Amino acid sequence: MNIYEALNTVSWKKKEYFLWKHNLSVLREIPLTEEELCKLIKSKSLAYMKRWERDESYHALVNIMIESQAGKDLEDVYSIVKEKALTGDEKSIKLLLDLQKQVQQYNKQANKGKQTTNTYDDLELD
């Protein structure tokens, strides 16, 4: 589940606040001010939203957001390491091979979790 799917599980006001707080709104070129956000969510202040930041549901959303960003960060790091490895940097070569090995292990584990065998999948019904 990505962060945008996860945000569909909370109220629209909390969703707007979270998007604003973490600068995730892809539809706005210019970020809203705190006053503009209050007008948007029809609230006098953000005090109750700041209290929500201490709630487990908020922390779960933050964790999902960080996990998605970590995937992008890994992709960026991989590209940088690969570029340096191709120039002959020994440390980068070793790190690149280690990263590739870790990704392969992760993919194997992820695929094991997805492989659910159903004995009826191969049957043809007329």
Residue given tokens 């065998």 in the structure block: 117
Same-domain check for residues 12 and 32: yes
- pLDDT above 80 (res 13): yes
Number of domains in the chain: 2
Full residue range of the structural domain in which residue 24 is found: 1-54
Residue 125 inside a domain? The answer is no
Closest CA to 32 of 19, 44, 43: 19
Res. 111 pLDDT band, cuts 50 70 90: confident
Same-domain check for residues 4 and 36: yes
Residue 120 inside a domain? The answer is no
Indicate the residue type of 51.
R
Residue 88 inside a domain? The answer is yes
Same-domain check for residues 31 and 78: no
CA distance linking residue 83 with residue 90, whole number of Å: 12
Same-domain check for residues 46 and 85: no
DSSP secondary structure string, 55-84?
A: SHHHHHHHHHHHHHHHHHHHHHHHHHHHHH
Q: Encoding tokens for residue 47?
A: 């005090």
Give the residue-averaged pLDDT of 43-70. 95
Res. 123 pLDDT band, cuts 50 70 90: low
Closest CA to 10 of 46, 68, 49, 67: 49
Amino acid 25: pLDDT: 85
Asked whether 19 and 25 are in contact (CB, 8 A), the reply is yes
Same-domain check for residues 61 and 94: yes
